[in-house]
Amino acid sequence: MTNPTGATPEGTRRYSERFGSVTAAGHFRRQQGLWMSSIGLGTYLGHWDETTDRMYAESVRRAIDLGCNVFDSAINYRFQRSERSVGAGLIEAFKSGKTARDEIIVATKGGFFSFDGAPPASARGWIRENFVDTEIVAPEEIVGGSHCMSPAYLDNQLSRSLENFGLDHIDIYYIHNPESQLEAVSREEFMKRIRAAFEMLERAVSEGRIGIYGTATWNGFRAAAGASDGLQLEELVNTAREVGGEDHHFRVIQLPHNLAMPEALTAGNQKVGSDLLSPLMAAERLGITVMCSAPMMQARLAGNLPPFVRDAMTGLMTDAQRAIQFVRSTPGVTTALVGMSQRSHVEQNLQLARTPPAPVEQFLKMFSES
């Protein structure tokens, strides 16, 4: 593919400038040459039905109207339906002239096995029929009956994701929860598998199928230093350098960050050189963009927040907005990825686009009063 169409510096700048009169300073952040909204639309939750499909597609279109140009999914979310719903919403927005492809940042993930549209009668049988019998995956490459990150498997999943979205290019592609592999293989074998995956993803970049790649984790970057399932960002960056040179494309990570799970900011678990840093500080030093999932901890932080949070996150209407504001205001965070399958939630949460991120002194007030 010689002329893939994806997000560009010029396109994302154009999008951000179009909202310059209605969004606050600091809503758009320049990372990896692209202008990214501080609130992105996530697509993890929801039933696998046509009603939810339509709701997500509508949410995508409405988010574009309100200053959101980052859309995050994974092939296994809602059995591939989330990717298809995002794609449907985006393509309709492109056709209507609401936005252009070069203004929008599309991210997805591969690693977990995903069924097609709904759960099969036998998960094990479905995986065997579709991946083992077809020799896409060898049995020894599967961990926990649900995860694989072999080059052939990731290549297959990337092709399927492109088809699901109806696009020829994905801007950010993550290996999904690679730390899952550490439940079954040695760290030495894990690093061999990571290296092979990175080699495949560098090829995907050169082919124009993806822009940059990274790892989307749950525990990996939050685990204590030395934990069996912990990931070291510097080690991953060094592996990417070995594979792709100084111009490698391992440029982004995703991890949970919220009021109840603040380890991205507070955990001193990442060794960079001789220093022990938090994940956010390590990422900044290594030139890695950080996207944060679960800002509301799957709605558990959308209400009944303690008074000290309300006192610190002033000028906001709801606890959901305060929880998102905490994440998008954390130094080093580029985008808070908020699950929004309903138009009303999109409209409420993206009111924050008109509010500047909390100043550092206001942000730190929560820690002094908690």
Is 3.20.20.100 the CATH classification of the domain at 9-369? yes
Q: Find out whether 260 and 302 touch, Cβ atoms under 8 Å.
A: no
**Domain positions in the chain:** 9-369
The count of other CB atoms within 10 Å of the CB of residue 58 is 18
- Alpha-carbon span 303 to 182, nearest angstrom: 35
Question: 369 or 177: which carries more pLDDT confidence?
Answer: 177
- Per-residue pLDDT, 281: 98
Distance between CA 289 and CA 291 in Å, rounded?
7
pLDDT, one tens digit per residue, over 257-293 is 999 999 999 999 999 999 999 999 999 999 999 999 9
Q: How many CA atoms lie within 13 A of 321 on its CB side?
A: 21
The overall average pLDDT reported for the chain is 95
In angstroms, the Cα distances linking 251 to 58, 233, 306 are: 30, 11, 36
pLDDT of res. 315:
86
Q: Quick check: 239 and 200 in contact, CB under 8 A?
A: no
Tokens, residue 360:
């550092």
> How sure is the predictor about 1, in pLDDT bands with cuts at 50, 70 and 90?
very low
Token pair for 93: 């927005």
* pLDDT higher than 70, residue 353: yes
The pLDDT-based confidence of 308 (bands split at 50, 70, 90) is: confident
CB 71 within 8 A of CB 101: no
Exposed / middle / buried, residue 160 (Cβ in 10 Å: 0-12, 13-18, 19+): middle
Among all chains, which residue has been given the structure tokens 């290594």?
Answer: 286
Confidence label for 311 from pLDDT (cuts 50, 70 and 90) = confident
pLDDT at 4 over 80: no
Q: What is the pLDDT of residues 79-103, one digit of tens each?
A: 999 999 999 999 999 999 999 999 9
- The secondary structure of residue 231, as a DSSP letter, is -
* Total-model pTM: 0.97
Lookup: tokens for 208:
């124009």
DSSP letters for 88-146:
HHHHHHHHHTS--GGG-EEEEEE-B---SSS--S-HHHHHIIIIITTTSS-GGG-BTTT
